[in-house]
A and B are shown apart, each in its own frame.
Chain A
Amino acid sequence: MAAEAPFLAVSEYFQSPYGSVSFAKKDQLPMVKTKGGKTVTGVSTVARHLSQAGTVSCGLTLEDQAAVDQWLEYHVTQVVHCGQNQQLCTQVLQELNNYLSDKVYFVTHHPTVADIILYHGLHNIFTKLAFHDKEKYVHLSRWFNNIQQDKRLRQSLQPLTFSRTSLYSS
């Protein structure tokens, strides 16, 4: 199931138990039961929980953690709506591209849960882009291509092809 993929990726990457994640029937909201017996719902909360429950420590400072949270929020408020709104889609791609112009990963110098969730959110958009469009967002494409090489992060998604040709250079 497609909705599971990002959480599978997060849980595998941070080696946290995936078993307890389930999806609400009505609106497909993910839920997870914590060790304390509580239930948390919502994409970013579940993703965050999975990233912290794992045995792999992310070693984030408080500032980094805040930045990660902000990107998760960006995913929930902006990226997920891109499918229906072409104008928003271009704006989001442009924004992310500008942001990544001097960075390799969204936060810090290694993949974080923000990279994983955004990769899964953007995969749908990227499959529809033509080669020259991908080339237009060269920073975002570079990041995307880099992330998708890790099989743990990619899960069931298809790897996309990127190519920089001189044909389109203008």
Chain B
Amino acid sequence: MGFGDLKSDAGLKALNDFLADRSYIEGYTASQADSVVFAALSSAPKASFPHALRWYNHIKSMDRSALPGVKKPLDSYGGAVPAQGGGDADDDFDLFGSDDEEEMDAIKQQRIKAYTEKKSEKPKLIAKSNLILEVKPWDDETDMKKLEECVRTVKCDGLIWGTSKLVPVGYGINKLQISCVVEDDKVGTDFLEEEITKFEDFVQSMDIVAFNKV
């Protein structure tokens, strides 16, 4: 509570921030609260504190002794503005019962450190996916062995081919089911599809049957 020393820049800044969305110190009319804070200022705030200056000029235009309300000590005005130095007054508001501010600070620092460490570790986990692809040949005369060989020639960083099997479709035609593990960041499904359908002589079409995160 309070604005601190209103003759210093820090106090003026607190007042300025407080008045950014308020027209008066208390409530929605001019009162003795304004008068008290006004009296605490040595002169008009600098133009770098526009909100404080606007309020100052507004209060200056009034007869300050005739304002309603009761005078209270200067420190009781202002919202929960963080007290800069001399923050003895907030003992009553210490909900966590820790009187040692330094200890609190240390704990906070530690937590922030732990959090940033945890965060920096995270990207090291590489997201991988297990894909099952289905490659369909043109007809029953397509050499499935050759087709599989062709598919397995597709190579790139982060791509590992797994087992494969031929699944009969009908009329003596088989399709090739092949599994692979890819690193999500390095290999995209578009890339795979593009590469495999390049073997036009063998491949009619290609589908992704399953896509599982590992």
Query: Which positions in A face B, CB cutoff 8 Å?
Result: 101-104, 109, 138, 141-143, 145-146, 149-150, 162, 164
Q: How far is the CA of A6 from the CA of B12 in the complex (A)?
A: 38
What would be 22 A-B contacts, judged by CB atoms less than 8 Å apart?
Answer: A102-B54, A102-B57, A103-B54, A103-B58, A104-B23, A104-B54, A104-B55, A109-B58, A109-B61, A138-B20, A138-B21, A141-B21, A142-B22, A142-B23, A143-B23, A145-B21, A146-B23, A146-B24, A149-B27, A149-B28, A164-B20, A164-B21
- Top 4 nearest A-B pairs by Cβ distance? A149-B28, A109-B61, A146-B23, A104-B58
- 0/1 interface trace, chain B 70-99, chain A, CB 8 Å (1 if under): 000000000000000000000000000000
0/1 interface trace, chain B 20-64, chain A, CB 8 Å (1 if under): 111110011000000000000000000000100111011001100
What's the interface size class on B, roughly?
Answer: 10 to 19
Residues of B within 8 A of A (CB): 20-24, 27-28, 50, 53-55, 57-58, 61-62
Q: How far is the CB of A88 from chain B (nearest CB, A)?
A: 25
Minimum C-beta distance from B69 to chain A (A): 15
A109, B54: Cβ atoms closer than 8 Å: no
Please report whether the interface of chain B is mostly helix, strand, loop or mixed according to DSSP.
loop
**Contact at A109–B21, with CB atoms within 8 Å?**
no
User: Which residues of chain B have C-beta atoms less than 8 A from A103's C-beta?
Assistant: 54, 58
Cα distance A145–B24 in the bound complex, in angstroms: 11
A141 to B22, CA, bound (A): 9
Indicate if the CB atoms of B53 and A102 lie closer than 8 Å. yes
Beyond A102-B53, A142-B22, list 14 extra A-B contacts (CB 8 Å). Answer: A102-B54, A103-B54, A104-B23, A104-B54, A109-B58, A109-B62, A138-B21, A142-B20, A142-B21, A143-B23, A146-B23, A146-B24, A150-B28, A164-B21
CB pair A162 B21 closer than 8 Å: yes
List chain B residues, Cβ under 8 A from A101.
50, 54
Please give, as numbers and ranges, the residues of chain B lying within 8 Å of A162 by CB-CB distance: 21
B21, B28, B50, B53, most chain A CB atoms within 10 A: B21
Residues of chain A within 8 A of B53, CB atoms compared: 102
Which among B55, B58, B62 has the highest number of chain A CB atoms within 10 Å? B58
Q: How far is the CA of A103 from the CA of B19 in the complex (A)?
A: 12
CA–CA, A149 to B24, complex, Å? 12
